[in-house]
Amino acid sequence: MPTTDRNHHLIEFRNVSMRFFRTQALNDVSFTVPSGSVTALLGANGAGKSTALRIAVNLLRPSGGSAQVLGVDSCRLPAAESEAEEGGNEDV
């Protein structure tokens, strides 16, 4: 069962890559978000921020590497519903 105690990370990306056809959206990205922290993803347009969040909530499967949320592989999480699929805002 997932846990959020101080010994675990809320989010952990290990060598995550994501490719859309010829576009490399993420290339070997690794980071952790410790439990109890406040974290921001900063970067220019097209840097992969939304792609990273979509991977974390299982809207996308990474081309390589792994992402965990609360100690669970993000690909095993129930897929979040996308507002974009419902005609809402496409930004995450």
Confidence grade of residue 79 (pLDDT, cut at 50, 70, 90)? confident
The pLDDT, as a whole number, for residue 22 is 93
- CATH number of the structural domain 9-78: 3.40.50.300
Rounded to two decimals, what is the model's pTM?
A: 0.78
Residues in the chain: 92
User: In this predicted structure, what is the pLDDT of residue 82?
Assistant: 60
> Do residues 27 and 64 touch, judged by C-beta distance below 8 A?
no
Q: What percent of the chain has pLDDT over 90?
A: 71
Cα 92 from Cα 18, distance rounded (Å) = 17
How do the domains of the chain map onto residue ranges?
9-78
Task: Count CA within 13 A, CB hemisphere, residue 72.
Answer: 13
12: which strand partners?
32, 68
Residue 61 pLDDT > 70: yes
Q: Is 7 exposed, middle or buried (0-12, 13-18, 19+ CB in 10 A)?
A: exposed
Select from 47, 41, 45 the least CA-distant residue to 26.
47
pLDDT of residue 31: 95
- The mean pLDDT value for 38-47 works out to 93
